[in-house]
Copies of this chain bind each other. A is one copy, B any other.
């Protein structure tokens, strides 16, 4: 039996509940018997030490059926659980509330899986060291690239390889906007509006289009994969809002496109987010909301991966992979 406490019940948290519900039988046959002992959002929660039905939690969440007297911190203190899943929204400056949630869950002796970039951006080595000292695991595949496996790809399929560099497209919103600009040669502001109407860009899109989101993911990759000790201040960041249709046209006329690339290189120790000319035949010339990464290594050479960088079920798939990795 694996007792799960789920903190955060937005898009990713609900996706996780749906995935657990769909995969319950498979998980049991694989020797993992997941029991959801508690779920919270920012306003309340539910708990039952004998296990909540994920579908019932989803119904109550949709109909205002959470108990307002329950708080995340209360449940973390009060309920017995084996693994805490943290899916609250990212705050790249303070890391809160995820940072406190993760620390308290580790203090309670539970493993932690998070989709929340904030705590890792703010204190990657502090949290990992804290977990390690207690013999616990902190897993975070879902923080970078959604359903595109990258952290586990490098750790579990390229083990023993030295990673020289990672270059990638880590923000689907920017990639959608640039793909549309390439195809239609519309101005940035026009395509941004279109993306907002489709729900691909947020009402306040600055976090994505200014490259902050990509930079946060790079910080996690650099700390997790490249043995670096870096934070947001170490990333040189330029977003996509100043790209003109004229620049895009010039690029395409010469067989190139423009993509927002995040890159980290071991030899220089540099982290950069910037719009880059990418040859149309280069693997990073991907379209739509996809994410992609090109990993350069000493033994395997270049390995390229792409997949869906966001989405409720897709991100939950990454959390599920971490969960299975921990308990099988």
Contact = CB atoms under 8 A, between A and B. Distances in A.
B324 A159 contact: yes
Interface of A is mostly: mixed
Given A149-B153, A153-B153, A283-B306, A159 B301 contact: no
A156 interface: yes
Given A160-B320, A320-B160, A321-B158, A306 B303 contact: yes
Interface stretch (A82-90, A207-215, A307-315): A307-315
A305 interface: yes
A121 interface: no
Contacts of A152: 156-157
A134 interface: no
A37 interface: no
Contact of A308 (B302, B311, B318): B302
* Most chain B beta-carbon neighbours within 10 Å: one of A156, A300, A301, A314: A300
Interface in A135-158: 141, 147-149, 152-153, 156-158
A199 interface: no
Given A149-B153, A149-B157, A299-B314, 19 more contacts: A27-B160, A152-B157, A153-B305, A156-B325, A157-B157, A158-B321, A160-B321, A161-B321, A281-B287, A299-B320, A300-B314, A300-B317, A300-B318, A301-B314, A303-B305, A304-B304, A304-B305, A304-B306, A304-B307
Interface of A: 19, 23, 26-27, 141, 147-149, 152-153, 156-161, 281, 283, 286-287, 297, 299-308, 311, 313-314, 316-318, 320-321, 323-325, 328
